[in-house]
Amino acid sequence: MKNIRLQRNEQFVALAAIALISLTISITDWLQRGMLPSFNILLSAVSAVLFMYWLPMIIGYLLVIKFKINRWFLQWISLFLSISLGAFVWGEIRALFLPLQGIGFLQAFLISLPWSTMIFVAVKFYLAQKHLKLEQQLRKQAEINLLHAQLNPHFLFNSLNTIASFARTQPTRCEDLVHDLAAVLRYSLSQSGLNQTNASIPKEAWVKLSDELVILNKWCDIERGRFGDKLNIRFDIDEALLDEIMPAMLLQPLIENAIKHGKSIPLHIWITVQRDGQYMTFNVRDNGVGFAESDLANAHSKNTDIRHKRVGQDKVAHFGLEITQARLELEAGSRLELSNTSEGGASVEFKLQVGTMAC
């Protein structure tokens, strides 16, 4: 943080805050003197705000920006001298309204020393907190970008292998699947963290559940084309939730993981999205072999940081689950819940809060 930089609304808030403090002190001072409120006293208090604080703060700020003053001591000096000059001018103006003497330069320096220090430290502290928050947001965005960069090639390669199986035997079908994959890729890239420039990751950048399901069905058609009757995918969606928003491409890796590790013929996968109080509950379950006990133990361990787990460190690396878990934590503050159904299949569930409607 080399220079003092404040947004326009932050500048207004700073000026309003110092005006409120100054007026409060002035009114209290006159009441303690036993003087009755008057128009001249009001003019004196307002002129103090204007000449002793507002103009010096604006001038000091402009000096720092104009001459690119980087050293904090020189920044403070510019504010101190500006407030000192403003205090001297205010003393002369006050003498016109009230039977009081003006303020000499020495007295102006003594008055300005604590005020300039307090204002400067307060602004610096605010900016330090602002920069810290920005760095955290940028680090969070960079981590999300990395996760998307890992995930996009992952499902791309698997989908290409699926399409390749139709290249010779069913070229027309292959062409249709290529179009489906193109639509999925355009959607994925346009909605991914790689395409977001706002480091704060706003929910306005999320997608409607209805849009997510349209693209998800295109991807499922690719998988159905490959496996035929060996794969059955069913959706059970609460239509009242179609306008709710969610991070893009969350369900696809869960379905892909079920296809890869289900190992059951025919494999049935059920995707449900239902409302549970103030939350949307997403569930992907299958009739496969279920999760290994080690996977369930790791998923329930609070000490497991899935974002820093290296793919391939165990024999069954649920790559899509790991990335989805990391994205949920970063983008929505949620977690995947892994379990096995009573029939023995795998179940993956997560929740997102209801109520933020897409624009």
In a domain, 12, yes or no: yes
Domain count, the chain: 2
Which residues have C-beta within 8 Å of that of residue 122, sequence separation ≥ 6?
none
| Domain boundaries, position 57 | 8-103
Task: Compute the chain's Rg from CA coordinates.
Answer: 32
**Same domain assignment for residues 67 and 155:** no
Cα(44)–Cα(95) distance, integer angstroms:
9
**Same domain assignment for residues 310 and 213:** yes
**Same domain assignment for residues 160 and 281:** yes
Residue 236 is given by DSSP the state E
Cα(271)–Cα(236) distance, integer angstroms:
6
**Same domain assignment for residues 213 and 70:** no
pTM flag (> 0.75): no
Q: Residue-wise pLDDT tens for the chain (359 aa)?
A: 345 567 888 888 888 999 898 888 887 877 777 777 788 888 888 999 999 999 999 998 888 888 888 888 999 999 999 999 999 999 999 888 888 888 898 999 999 999 999 999 998 898 888 877 777 765 666 565 555 555 556 667 767 887 887 888 888 888 888 998 888 878 877 765 444 444 444 455 688 999 999 999 998 988 888 788 999 999 999 999 999 999 888 898 899 889 888 888 899 999 999 999 999 999 999 998 888 887 787 766 644 444 334 333 343 346 678 878 888 887 888 999 999 998 889 999 999 998 754 44
In a domain, 124, yes or no: no
Three-state SS letters, 112-144: HHHHHHHHHHHHHHHHHHHHHHHHHHHHHHHHH
In a domain, 320, yes or no: yes
**Same domain assignment for residues 18 and 79:** yes
**Same domain assignment for residues 197 and 321:** yes
